Amino acid sequence: MTKDDIKTLAENALHHACSFMQDALGQKHGDIAGMFFTGEKEDEIHAMFEDYIKTEISFKELPND
């Protein structure tokens, strides 16, 4: 998986998480999420997801699985 693949996966994870919460709350538009997750907040969330993805990849590739 490339760095770009990881970034795309992290971005999609954030979108899916927001969509999941919006559906549960009956929110029909993503405008609030778009405003809330901009700039530093968005960067922090993406970085966390990217770290998590890299951790999953590293454990996936352990021998003896």
Could you state, in order of their start, the residue ranges of all structural domains in the chain? 1-13+37-57
Judged against a pLDDT cut of 80, whether residue 62 lies above it is answered with no
What is the model's pLDDT at position 60? 84
pLDDT band (50, 70, 90) for residue 27:
very high
User: According to DSSP H, which parts of the chain are helical?
Assistant: 3-25, 31-36, 40-60
CB 14 within 8 A of CB 46: yes
Average pLDDT for 42-60? 95
pTM, rounded to two decimals: 0.83
Mean pLDDT of 52-65: 83
Residue type, 63: P
